[in-house]
Amino acid sequence: MKYIVGNWKMHGTAAALEEIRGLAGAVPDGVDVAVCPPFTLIERAARVAEGTRLAIGAQNLHASEKGAHTGDISASMLADAGASLVIVGHSERRADCGESDHIVHAKAEAALAAGLTTILCVGETEAERDASRAEAVVATQLAGSCPGSADGLVIAYEPVWAIGTGRTPTPEDVRAMHAHVRHDLVLRYGDAGQAVRILYGGSVNPGNAATLLAIPDVDGALVGGASLTAAGLLAIAAAAPTG
C-alpha cells in the first residue's frame, strides 16, 4: 500500500486537532496515512486517532534514551505519548540545525530500537543537482545515515530545492532517483531492501499527487503544506493507486 505522511513542521495548536479528527474518520481503504504534528500535539492527536487507521508520528528525536539534553525528546518518550513513527534527517534539520549523517544514523538506530517506524530523509540542493551531483549526494547520505537493519525503515527522497517552492522535478527525474535509492537499498540490505518504502517529498499537493504516486518505486509521499488540512491530505491519499 502507498504510504502518505503529513509533516506539519512548526504548525498547529489545539484548534488543529479538528483536522486530525477529520482525517481519522476518513482514511480511505488501500492506503496508509500518518500525520506528524509538533511535539505539543502528539499525545492529544494520538487520543483523537485512537482506534482508527490514522497513525500519529513525530518530526524529530534525540538519539539518547535520557540525560542532560535540555529541550530534546527521546524515542521512548515519543512512544509513550502515542507516536508510532518519527521523521529523521529532514533537510531542514540538516541545514538549520547542522545535523550530520552520523547524527541522523544515531537517531534512526534509537528510533528503530524503540519500535518506531523511521522515515529517513535524503536529498540534494539545487546547486548539487545543477552540478550533476544529485545521485552522489544521496548515495553519501544513505551510506552515512542508514541504520543496520531495514526492519521498520522508510526512506523519503526530498529534493531540497522543491520543498515549499511549488517546484517539482520532472517525473523522469523522480523515477531515476527513486530507482537509484532502491538499487542502493538492495545492495545494502539484500532482499529486505526491496520491501523498504521510498516516499517522495517536495511540494506534493492534490494537483500533482496522482502523477507522482504512479511513478515506479514511489511508494508514497511525505507532504508538507498540503497536509495541514484534512481535505488536502485526504485528496492526496485518494490519488494513490491501490491496485
Q: Which residues are catalytic?
A: 90, 158
Cβ count within 10 A of residue 214: 12
- Percent of the chain with pLDDT strictly greater than 90: 94
pTM for the complete prediction?
0.97
The confidence score (pLDDT) of residue 243 equals 64
Domain boundaries of the chain, sorted by first residue: 2-83+96-238
- Contact status, residue 150 vs residue 195, Cβ threshold 8 Å: yes
Copy the grid coordinates of residue 77.
518518550
Residue 168 has pLDDT above 80, yes or no: no
- Find the mean pLDDT for residues 3-27: 98
Copy the grid coordinates of residue 164.
515549499
Say which residues have a Cβ less than 8 Å from residue 173's Cβ, sequence separation at least 6. 159
Longest dimension (CA), the chain: 49
Residue 145 and residue 143: Cα distance in Å, rounded? 6
For residue range 48-77, list pLDDT tens digits in order: 999 999 999 999 999 999 999 999 999 999
The confidence score (pLDDT) of residue 159 equals 96
For residue range 169-219, list pLDDT tens digits in order: 999 999 999 999 999 999 999 999 999 999 999 889 999 999 999 999 999
Residue 239 and residue 243: Cα distance in Å, rounded? 12
The confidence score (pLDDT) of residue 31 equals 97
For domain 2-83+96-238, give its CATH number from 3.40.1160.10, 3.20.20.70, 3.40.1280.10, 3.40.920.10. 3.20.20.70
The confidence score (pLDDT) of residue 178 equals 98
For residue range 109-149, list pLDDT tens digits in order: 999 999 999 999 999 999 999 999 999 999 999 999 999 99
For residue range 84-103, list pLDDT tens digits in order: 999 999 999 999 999 999 99
